[in-house]
Amino acid sequence: MSESFIRKIEERLTRIYSESVKSVDVSQVACQIERLCQPLLDGQTSYTLGDEGRWSEKDSILITYANSIQTPGEIPLQTLSAFLEDNLHGTINNIHILPFFPYSSDDGFSVIDYRLVNPDWGDWQDIARIAGKFDLMVDLVINHCSRENLWFFDYIANNEPYSDYFIEVDPETDVSAVTRPRNTPLLTPVHTHRGIRHVWATFSEDQIDVNFENPAVLLEFMQILLLYVERGARLIRLDAIAYLWKKIGTNCIHLPQTHEVVKLMRDVLDYCAPRTILLTETNVPVAENLSYFGSGDEAHMVYQFGLPPLVLHALNRGNSSFLTDWADKIPPLEDGCTYLNFTASHDGIGVRPVEGILPEREVQDLIDCMHRFGGFVSMKANSDGSQSPYEINITLFDACMGTRRGTDHFQVQRFLCSQAIMLSMQGIPAVYIHSLLASPNDLDHVEKTGRTRSINRKIWDKSELDCLLKNPVTPQAEVFAELRRMIALRSQQKAFHPSARQDIVRINSDLFINRRSHPQQTIYSVSNVTERMLKLPLDVLGFLPDGLRDLLAYDQEVTTTELYLAPYQTVWLTADK
């Protein structure tokens, strides 16, 4: 037993439960946490961080559901495993499998049992096979569980200790100050053995928030966290973490206790699984999102939630000004921290992260254009009873089918430009499987589920997908081949190390220019965000007179005077020979 670790955890727990109405024996809870760490500590002797540290330029992430690609009669996780090994091994080294547990709704985010693999999709051996070939990211759906979870059945039956696992609120209580990510009621009525009770449900009536003010809940999730690490998870994604702690009279988002819980998990992982990376998912304005780095003692990695809407806006508008302004103000990283960069995910394209960055008129124009391209918008409830946009629901590929002037023939080029920009940003890139596969809007899926998010959650039939990928003239084949090529090229460049310096260069609104520098290499990523051919004299960027070569070009010729950029073309320029 490590006395210093116990003391550190006791101090953290004291801060978490300092305002609790119930007495909490922090020493006892700390000892229980330390005991949970023992199995991982026993197997830790052979572990080293290695020369590269936690991450390097070789790192990239694929985001996918366990059943995103299916073959009739096959176990989906085995189909996925074969697809990954055949197509991505040696190119992408991290796989984020979205919740693969038994669930009741929301495509996995209403978890029935945190300790089981959905038997319709496979088992822990199938997860282990993928974790044996790739680093694995697993979701800890920490804010809520399914109302079909056995914890909730025991709560309804008033069985200990589950009678205090959820948050009961008098329906007459004023909860108008609570920040809402959805437009559904915050409190949902439940018939229990004690009569009707109203329980807290931030996201839906099927997703019941758990009560972290009860230390038994904290211990339950700490055990689940460490189970996932034991099962091969290298990265842990804390889903909807911002809403974890509730206190009536506050906005119930980003409360100090929430940050302390994340720091506690970081303390535990640093102690017994130091190779593990903790990622927070907080789809909120930029400053709030970055707060989850703490002082370098909280999350190892946070999402760049501003990147997807701003890249889409730049390409849709043909103007990089807002993207450039935002990127230029990204603060320096703390040691041991980095960003997860993405342009699409299983969720929609959030618009809250651009509050105070994009004018409301620009946001509305973008939403209107996405409606014309077949997309939807999800709303959130405000404290004054009004509603406002929360996220755009559309596949990124179809979001790039045109500009505000309408559709055009640059869809593939525009989409690949969005990916090249993302790949150049400081941090680790994450590619959603439906970006890798250039999936179109799945309106049939929306009609089937009744949820607008399903538009971007297509389930591919593997035989259909194979035919599309083998035909070089399909958008799917073109995007799949080029995006894999870009990721492979990126992994060989020291200037794209997550810790390499980033400087945004301002020339004009037609271009987005990102200078990445490492002691061994400098790369200028230059993207034309317009549908026009552009000419750029190299001397305006202060380039070396010996000229530069474009890493993305097939001919690798050195350019010494001026650069011509086709519509939506990106070049990665370096002086390296």
Contact 322, 362 (CB under 8 A): yes
Buried b (16+ CB within 10 A) or exposed e, 320-355: bbbbbebbeebeebeebbbbbbbbbbbbbbbbbbbe
Pairing type for strands 301-303 and 338-341 reads parallel
What CA–CA distance (Å, rounded) separates 477 from 483? 10
Q: What is the pLDDT of residue 50?
A: 42
Q: What is the pLDDT of residue 386?
A: 86
Write the pLDDT tens digit of every residue in 417-440: 999 999 999 999 999 999 999 999
Residue 52 has pLDDT above 70, yes or no: no
What CA–CA distance (Å, rounded) separates 244 from 338? 23
Residue positions counted in the chain = 577
Q: Give me the chain's average pLDDT, please.
A: 94
Q: What is the pLDDT of residue 42?
A: 83
Q: What is the pLDDT of residue 381?
A: 82
Mean pLDDT of 441-453: 94
Q: What is the pLDDT of residue 53?
A: 78
Domains for the chain: give ranges and CATH numbers: 61-142+231-251+278-496 (3.20.20.80), 144-209 (3.90.400.10), 501-574 (2.60.40.1180)
How many other CB atoms are there within 10 angstroms of residue 92's CB atom? Answer: 25
Name the token pair of 293.
Answer: 């780095």
Q: Say what the pTM is.
A: 0.96
Q: What is the pLDDT of residue 21?
A: 67
Q: What is the pLDDT of residue 380?
A: 85
Q: What is the pLDDT of residue 51?
A: 39
pLDDT band at 106 (very low <50, low <70, confident <90, very high): very high
Contact 240, 202 (CB under 8 A): yes
* Residues with catalytic roles: 239
Percent of the chain with pLDDT over 90: 88
Residue 154 has pLDDT above 90, yes or no: yes
Residue 44 has pLDDT above 70, yes or no: no
Contact 395, 460 (CB under 8 A): no
Residue 51 backbone phi and psi in degrees, to 5: -65, -30
Q: What is the pLDDT of residue 1?
A: 65
